[in-house]
Amino acid sequence: MELLAFARGQALTFSVAVFVLGVLWRLVGVLALPAWRDFSPPREGSAPNWLSAIRAIFRKMIPHRTFLKEGMFTTVNGYVFHFGLGVVVFLFVPHILFLRSLFGVSWPGLPNGVITGVGALTAGSLLVALAYRLTSPVLKLISRPNDYLSWLLTFLPVATGLAATAHVGPRYETMLALHILSVCAFLIWFPFGKLMHAFLFVLSRGATGIRFGHRGAQL
């Protein structure tokens, strides 16, 4: 019980503080960079910057038709575990109650059986992503410890959460504490690793879209 109290108390408070301050620090650091200025006139008929940015953000969610066949598997699998994570985090009733304690708002959740199924699918999808990374010559070549640590710290909360709900492993209180501690590790690492792409992809794609749109290029 002492481990569970520590996980719910000091560990969670510290990790949330690191997450919030770290994300703000990264975002401020990016937004404070000197703006890139293109002194050339925009191509005739080019879209406004805001429209070019939005187009780039959403169009890049689907591979270009040239790479559609080769990239479809990784794209679909990526959507599976990203969507699954969103469902488990935001539609599991205990998670909703926790978020309500932080922000004072709540919403309806899904039945536990549905969440368990989605969680299992998410865990399987993450394992498939790791296997593909380890067997793809290109991905294996460009992968760094950051990639594997980010994967591990994403997988552990899902795995420990499934184990806790299924009462697998140590007693429930211990498993719940391990689940919360794995979430704490995820939150602490988030601003400093590649998980930060959850925020930065909007800025990077938007900037790319503006630059290409200025030149009249189609993304």
Give the pLDDT score at 151.
96
Give the pLDDT score at 212.
79
Asked if residue 115 is part of any domain, the answer here is yes
Whole-angstrom distance, CA of residue 213 vs CA of residue 218? 7
Asked if residue 17 is part of any domain, the answer here is yes
Number of domains the chain is built from: 1
Asked if residue 94 is part of any domain, the answer here is yes
Asked if residue 58 is part of any domain, the answer here is no
Asked if residue 219 is part of any domain, the answer here is no
- Asked if 185 contacts 156 with a C-beta cutoff of 8 angstroms, the reply is yes
Compute φ and ψ for 118, nearest 5 degrees: -65, -40
pLDDT at 142 over 70: yes
For 24-42, what is the mean pLDDT? 83
Indicate the pLDDT class of residue 73, thresholds 50, 70 and 90: confident
**Residue spans of beta strands (DSSP E) within the chain:** none
Give the residue with greater pLDDT, 185 vs 44. Answer: 185
Q: What percent of the chain shows pLDDT beyond 90?
A: 53
Domain range spanning residue 142? 2-24+64-214
Asked if residue 43 is part of any domain, the answer here is no
Asked if residue 154 is part of any domain, the answer here is yes
Residue 115 identity: I
- CATH number of the domain enclosing 76: 1.20.950.20
